[in-house]
Amino acid sequence: MPRGKVIRMKDTTMTDRSLTDENRRLRILVICTGNRARSQMAHGWLNHLGGVRVAVDSAGTNPRGVHAMAVRVMAEVGIDISGHSSDHVDRYADGDYDLVITVCDAARETCPVLPGAKRALHHGFADPDRPELDDEALVAVFRQTRDEIGDYCRKLLASFCR
C-alpha cells in the first residue's frame, strides 16, 4: 500500500451538510499511531455521542493494543470501549469514509493513501501514554486527554450531523 505524507482523498466537492443525508450514517475512521488510546477514546466518544447517525472505526499505523487506562477513564464517563480491538489502518484502506480523522501528528505523516475518504481532518492530541508517570498522575493525564477528545467530538458532530 502506498504511503504518503498526507491522506489523499477522492476528488469530491461536498459541504458539511451533504455528508449526512437523512437516511445514511456518517462513516468515520479515526487514526493514530498505536490505536491504543487517543483513537480509541475518539471512537468511543463518536459512537456514544453520534448514536445511529454514525458508523465509526478506528485504526493505527502501528497498532499496539487498547490501553487499559483508556478503557478505565472512558468507563468513568459511561462509555465502554473494553470490546474495541487495535487494528492496522490497512484493514480499512478500501473503505468509503465520509471523514478520516488523524488524532496524532505521527499518524498524519505516515498514514497510507485512503482513496475512499471524502474528507480528511487532523486534530493532534498529546499522547497520554506516559509510562514514566505513577498511576495517579497517569490517570489524570488520560482524563485530560479524554475530556479534550470529548469536546472535539461534540463540536465535530455538531458541525457534520445537523
> Would you please indicate which residues are annotated as catalytic (active-site) residues?
32, 104, 111
Three-state SS string over the chain comes to CCECCCCCCCCCCCCCHHHCCCCCCEEEEEEECCCCCHHHHHHHHHHHHHHHHEEEEEEECCCCCCCHHHHHHHHHCCCCCCCCCCCEHHHHCCCCECEEEECCHHHHHHCECCCCECCEEECCCCCCCCCCCCHHHHHHHHHHHHHHHHHHHHHHHHHHCC
Q: What are 125's three cell numbers?
A: 492530541
Which are the contacts of 19, defined by CB distance < 8 A and separation ≥ 6?
26, 98, 99, 118, 119, 160
